[in-house]
Amino acid sequence: MMCGTKKILIVEDNADLCDLFTITLKRLGLEIAIAITGEEAVERASAMKPDLILMDIRLPKMNGVEATKQIKADPSTKDIPVVILSAFSMSSHGRHAIEAGAVEVLQKPVSVTEIERVLNKYSCTGHEAQTESSSASVSAKRSQETSNILH
Ligand code: MN
C-alpha cells in the first residue's frame, strides 16, 4: 500500500463496535490497534505512533477529550491526528474535543466512506495521487457490499 501500511488506533469501549471497526478497517488493508480506556489510548499512541487515532468520547475513567489533551501535550504524539467519534457531536463535548486538539468530530454512526475520507485527509499527506487511486479501487470493491455502518 502507499507509504506503508497505515496504522490506526481505535479507542472504543464498546466491544461489539471494536470488532466491527477491526473487521471493516482490516478489509481496507489497515493495521489496527485497539484501546478501550483513555489511559490505554495515551499509552498506545506513544508506543505505536499510529497514523491516525479514532477516539470515542465516552470512555471509562479518562474520557476521550482528556486523552486527546494528553496526546497533544506529549511532543512525541502531538502531531498524530485525532478524529473524535461521538454519538453527541453537537454537544459541548465536541467543542471541547476540538479545543483539546482533535482535527474533526464525526457523528456516530459513522460510514466506511467517512472513515476513508478522514484517513485520506489527515494521514499520509504528500501521496495524494496514490491515495486517490487506492481509494477508487476500495470504492469499487465497496460498491458490491451494501453500506457498512459503524455505530
Ligand atoms: Mn463509549
**Each residue's pLDDT tens digit in the chain (151 positions)?**
455 678 999 999 999 999 999 998 999 889 999 999 999 999 999 999 999 999 999 998 899 999 999 999 999 999 999 999 988 766 788 889 999 999 999 998 889 899 889 989 998 643 443 444 444 444 444 444 434 556 5
pTM of the model: 0.80
Answer yes or no: is 112 within a domain: yes
pLDDT at site 28: 87
CATH number at residue 123: 3.40.50.2300
Is residue 43 a contact partner of residue 62, using CB atoms and an 8 Å limit? no
CA of 142 to the centre of ligand 1 (A): 27
CA of 130 to the centre of ligand 1 (A): 34
Is residue 36 a contact partner of residue 61, using CB atoms and an 8 Å limit? no
Answer yes or no: is 133 within a domain: yes
CA of 68 to the centre of ligand 1 (A): 15
pLDDT at site 97: 92
pLDDT at site 90: 67
| Closest to 56 (Cα-Cα) out of 8, 92, 107 | 107
Answer yes or no: is 121 within a domain: yes
Answer yes or no: is 151 within a domain: no
- 3-class DSSP state of 103: coil
CA of 64 to the centre of ligand 1 (A): 9
pLDDT at site 129: 38
Strands (E), the chain: 7-11, 31-35, 52-56, 82-86, 104-107, 110-111, 149-150
Q: Which residue has 494528553 as its cell numbers?
A: 70
Is residue 81 a contact partner of residue 103, using CB atoms and an 8 Å limit? yes
Strands 110-111 and 149-150 turn out to be: antiparallel
pLDDT at site 91: 74
Answer yes or no: is 44 within a domain: yes
Looking at the DSSP bridge assignments, the partners of residue 104 are 83
Range of the domain at 63: 7-141
> How do the residues of the chain divide into helix, strand and coil, expressed in percent and rounded to 5?
45, 20, 35
CA of 51 to the centre of ligand 1 (A): 22
Per the structure, the count of domains in the chain is 1
Is residue 42 a contact partner of residue 71, using CB atoms and an 8 Å limit? yes
Answer yes or no: is 81 within a domain: yes
Answer yes or no: is 147 within a domain: no
Answer yes or no: is 36 within a domain: yes
